């Protein structure tokens, strides 16, 4: 591991936030309220339990083998061949997941900001930026996450302004949607927390491993808070019924207000968000490139850019495959399912094997 590939636990907080809060935030209130109705905010809160469970599993796993990287861990637990296959599957997952993020990012940019620019051109620019970033080391990725976090922070206050149109009866009766409906809403809400799985790779890169759980909880806590606030705002302004006809409620909610000078706040938000929305691609992309480089024994200084390109190219191609927005939304749903597999079942399987192997795993 290069010295520039270590990060602090504080940086891990920003990486986790960056990996989770991307473009899904804009459609989250619609997806969750479709199932949980006025109790969507409760489903968003409960949805956070899924990544919390992931965090605990991955941390327990890492604690048992603190000196092993993600790739070494796979080799150790599954054997060299099967372990490499598992790493490749992880890389495929990242490619698929990132392609959906790039596509949705591109669609929003094209629909709201650049209606005449072809989707492949916007997607190309996005992917090139990603290639440039993940070609660097973990520390650069971490620092960029931190900078972008502070840039986006003031925008949270922008979202408060539509509350002038809030109607508290839209949230009532609390729990009235029924237990089953709320539980059904937890599933799409948990997809929005996709990104926690980067910890599988980044755990090894954190200097102070004892602080990982704290950093994870802080990162997840922030994400949950932001999701909760935005879902509540959308529900208060529109109610769960009207939200259903809006593709990106958390963005369109800014269209309900008018500033004297800044006529259209949603455009201001999007301009800033263009840097922020691709953070999940950047973080997951780095995790995949780092692991793929390691499994292929690629010299970091010489050929890492080829590994990055090998990941970026399929992301770009896959991002262009959905013929329309409706299919692209379907793909994001599939990406959500795979997230549960990769983020929850995969580390759980690894942890179970580690526990079964007992002391052997500890000494590894």
User: For 7, phi and psi rounded to 5 degrees?
Assistant: -130, 160
38 binds another protein (CB under 8 A): yes
Question: Is 154 exposed, middle or buried (CB count within 10 Å of its CB: 0-12, 13-18, 19+)?
Answer: exposed
Query: CA 190: distance to chain centroid?
Result: 11
* Token couple for 130: 């990603």
The distance of closest approach from Cβ of residue 120 to another protein in the complex, given in angstroms and rounded to an integer, is 10
- # residues near another protein by CB under 8 A: 37
CB atoms within 10 A of CB 155: 15
Q: Considering beta carbons, is residue 128 or 356 the nearer one to another protein?
A: 128
User: Three-state SS for 354?
Assistant: helix
Q: Considering beta carbons, is residue 65 or 235 the nearer one to another protein?
A: 235
Q: Which residues inside 330-359 make contact with another protein, applying CB under 8 A?
A: none
Site string for another protein, 238-277 (x = CB under 8 A): xx-xx---------x--xxxx----xx-x-----------
The distance of closest approach from Cβ of residue 269 to another protein in the complex, given in angstroms and rounded to an integer, is 12
Residue 153 · residue 142 · CB < 8 Å: no
The Cα–Cα gap between 192 and 285 comes to 18
Alpha-helix residue ranges (DSSP H) falling in the chain = 9-20, 24-36, 40-47, 49-64, 70-78, 80-108, 119-134, 138-152, 155-158, 179-191, 199-205, 212-243, 249-252, 265-276, 279-295, 300-320, 325-340, 346-357, 359-363
175 binds another protein (CB under 8 A): no
Site string for another protein, 102-141 (x = CB under 8 A): ---------xx-xxxxx--xx-xx--x---x---------
Residue 171 · residue 235 · CB < 8 Å: yes
For 169-179, give one letter per residue: b (16+ CB within 10 A) or e: ebbeeeeebee
Q: Which residues inside 289-318 make contact with another protein, applying CB under 8 A?
A: none
The distance of closest approach from Cβ of residue 178 to another protein in the complex, given in angstroms and rounded to an integer, is 7
321 binds another protein (CB under 8 A): no
326 binds another protein (CB under 8 A): no
Q: Considering beta carbons, is residue 263 or 301 the nearer one to another protein?
A: 263
Q: Considering beta carbons, is residue 6 or 242 the nearer one to another protein?
A: 242
Q: Which of 176, 180, 208, 337 touches another protein by CB under 8 A?
A: 176
Note the residues at the interface with another protein (CB under 8 A).
37-38, 111-112, 114-118, 121-122, 124-125, 128, 132, 165, 167, 169-170, 172-173, 176-178, 237-239, 241-242, 252, 255-258, 263-264, 266
């Amino acid at each position: 591991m290069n010295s520039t590939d270590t990060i602090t636990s504080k940086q891990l907080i920003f990486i986790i936030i960056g990996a989770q809060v991307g473009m899904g935030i804009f459609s989250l209130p619609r997806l969750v309220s479709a199932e949980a109705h006025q109790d969507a905010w409760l489903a968003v809160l409960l949805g956070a339990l899924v990544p919390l469970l992931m965090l605990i599993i991955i941390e327990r796993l890492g604690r048992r083998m603190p000196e092993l990287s993600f790739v070494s861990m796979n080799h150790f637990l599954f054997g060299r061949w099967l372990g490499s296959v598992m790493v490749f599957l992880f890389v495929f997952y990242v490619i698929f997941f990132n392609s959906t993020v790039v596509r949705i990012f591109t669609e929003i940019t094209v629909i709201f900001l650049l209606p005449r620019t072809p989707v492949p051109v916007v997607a190309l620019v996005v992917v090139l930026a990603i290639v440039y970033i993940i070609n660097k080391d973990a520390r650069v990725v971490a620092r960029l996450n931190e900078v972008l976090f502070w840039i986006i922070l003031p925008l949270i206050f922008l979202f408060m302004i539509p509350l002038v149109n809030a109607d508290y009866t839209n949230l009532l009766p609390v729990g009235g949607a029924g237990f089953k409906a709320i539980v059904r809403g937890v599933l799409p809400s948990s997809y929005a927390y996709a990104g926690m799985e980067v910890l599988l790779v980044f755990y090894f890169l954190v200097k102070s491993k004892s602080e990982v759980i704290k950093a994870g909880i802080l990162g997840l806590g922030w994400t949950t808070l932001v999701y909760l606030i935005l879902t509540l705002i959308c529900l208060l302004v529109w109610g769960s019924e009207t939200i259903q006809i809006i593709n990106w409620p958390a963005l369109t909610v800014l269209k309900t207000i008018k500033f004297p000078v800044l006529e259209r706040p949603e455009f201001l938000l999007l301009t800033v968000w263009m840097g922020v929305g691709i953070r999940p691609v950047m973080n997951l992309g780095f995790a995949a490139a780092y692991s793929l480089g390691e499994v292929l024994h690629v010299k970091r200084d010489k050929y890492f850019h080829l590994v990055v390109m090998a990941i970026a190219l399929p992301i770009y191609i896959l991002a262009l495959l959905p013929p329309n927005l409706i299919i692209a939304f379907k793909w994001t749903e599939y990406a959500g399912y795979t997230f549960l597999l990769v983020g929850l079942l995969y580390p759980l399987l690894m942890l179970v094997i580690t526990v079964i192997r007992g002391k052997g795993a500890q000494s590894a």
